[in-house]
Amino acid sequence: MVILAQLVLYAWLPIILYLFVRYSPQRAVIISFVAGWMFLPQMGISLPFIPDFDRINSTCYGVLVGILLFDPGRLNRFKVSWIDIPIIVWSLCNLASSLTNGLGLYDGFNQSLTTTMSWGVPYFIGRLYLDNFIALRRLAIAIFVGAVIYAPMCLYESRLMQNFHLLVYGFQHPSQTFIFSIRLGGYRPSIFMTSGLMLSIWMMLGTILAMIIWRSKLMKKLWGIPISYYVGLLIITFILIRSTGAYVLFAASIAILFIAKWFKVAPFFWSIITITILYIYTGAAGNFPREQYINLMSNYFEPDRIESMDFRFKNEELLSAKARERAIFGWGGFGRSRIFNEDGEDISTTDSLWIIALGSNGAVGLASVFGVLLLPIISFGIRFPAKLWGNPIVAPTAAFAVFILMYAYDCTANAMVNPVYTLICGGIAGVTVNKNPLLDR
């Protein structure tokens, strides 16, 4: 069955090229990224001199070739803007991290190429093709349709406790095993994602977009069925995925969008941006008030959850202290930023994107990766204030901005890279610097 997964990855390249022949380049890009992330196998094929050929890279390779063959003129129209500085720095800072740690030019180039493929290329393609409200609306509809397709699969896994990735490809990611899938008294599905948490965030986005599409009347029916029915289906499915963290992020997203629509302000949007930045800053500087925070949270969560939370904070304190020894560009790769005991055993746990970026790439890497996530949505919020978010034209982009904020906040506790989210960041960045975001190019 592993052979089947390899064949699917290799076949994805000609399929993407067919999409460029069959549809417009913009639609081909959207279908390629959404379908590729949803259904390609969780594996990588080692290739010489270039990053592993996995589902992210196979999609990026295919789309880049498709652009070069079928839409090269688009590249000539692209102009680098100030808003692209974080993605450029994040894509290249591995080179500086390797050189400053004596790991060599080859290692730095290889690591930077890996980051460029998983982050830089999706962002760049988003800037190219999704830099207007119409294009982002099409992406929103595609993700919504993808979530609808996933919904019965989620219900199937929840009920029968069988993983689709295992059924189709014959193997599964370690985090998809049964013992890691039991949550809240039931089985948490993962479908073709690496974990149930990753799936829950994806379905959260699909559910939010379904509600926006329904309320804004962007679509009335899908396959002859009213959109309201799908909204109900996705809400039920999202609940049955059993992810407490995703529930909280979903509730916060809906609250932000509801207040923006009815009161024309977004105080929670700006508050969560501020909280995220302050958390990262205090954690990186070693000033996070862990004991006070744990005492506060103990009033709302069960003791086992508080213990898990405190364990993660203590790990991050130790990792942050070591990271400050190489404050600018970090320790580079090969696990050099981790904590080892006297016997050389790794005793650290790195769950969050912020501590991984800080340890490996220092303050430059930390600021740049969260700049990729936060700078576009901050710029969007300034240029298009909350009073405009209820407009059907702006609403899908506003929903994307709120979701990316929640994703950035989640990255203070988890590290789940998703090229579709980076594609969205590129699109929002394009909207904010586009002089006429109402015009689809």
Does some domain include residue 104? no
Instruction: Provide the residue type at 119 as one letter.
Output: W
Q: What is the pLDDT of residue 161?
A: 81
d(CA 125, CA 75): 10
Question: Residue 88's closest CA among 50, 126, 60, 116?
Answer: 116
Q: Please, what's the b/e burial string for 147-156 (b: 16 or more CB within 10 A of its CB; e: otherwise)?
A: bbebbebbbe
Residue 46 lies in a domain: yes
Using CA atoms, how far apart are residues 72 and 77, in angstroms rounded to an integer? 10
What does the block give as tokens for 123? 């962002």
- In the block, which residue shows the tokens 């992330």? 37
Output the pLDDT for position 46: 81
Residue 214 pLDDT? 96
The structural domain count of the chain equals: 1
Angstrom CA distances, 169 to 1, 55, 153, 161, 235, stand at 5, 14, 15, 16, 28
- Is residue 37 in a domain? yes
Task: Return the H-helix or E-strand segment holding 158.
Answer: helix 133-160
Do 411 and 353 contact (CB within 8 A), yes or no? yes
Q: What is the pLDDT of residue 351?
A: 82
Beta bridge partners of 346: 340
Q: Return the pLDDT at 359.
A: 94
Residues whose CB falls within 8 Å of the CB of residue 328, separated by 6 or more in sequence, listed in order: 100, 362, 363, 364
pLDDT score, position 181: 65
Contacts of 266 (CB under 8 A, 6+ apart): 256, 259, 260, 381, 385, 386, 389
Residue 48, in any domain of the structure: yes
Mean pLDDT of successive 10-residue stretches along the chain, which has 441 residues: 87 97 97 97 82 90 96 91 97 95 91 94 97 97 97 91 87 67 74 91 97 94 95 95 92 96 95 97 92 84 80 90 95 89 78 94 97 98 96 97 97 93 98 89 69
Confirm whether 161 is domain-assigned.
Answer: no
Residues with Cβ within 8 Å of 281's Cβ and at least 6 positions away in sequence, in order, are none
Q: Whose structure tokens read 């890996």?
A: 114
**Cross-strand bridge partners of residue 221:** 226
Burial class of 251 by CB neighbour count within 10 A (0 to 12, 13 to 18, 19+): exposed
Kindly report the number of other CB atoms within 10 A of residue 45's CB atom: 13
Q: Which residue has the tokens 């906040």?
A: 409
Element (H, E) at 344: none
**Does the residue 222 lie in any domain?**
no
Domain presence at residue 386: no
Angle at 387 between CA 268 and CA 407, to 5 degrees: 40
- Return the pLDDT at 38: 96
Q: Is residue 415 part of a domain?
A: no
- From the list 193, 203, 200, 191, the residue with the least C-alpha distance to 162 is 191
Q: The domain containing residue 51 runs over which residues?
A: 1-77
* Pair of tokens at residue 12: 């994805």
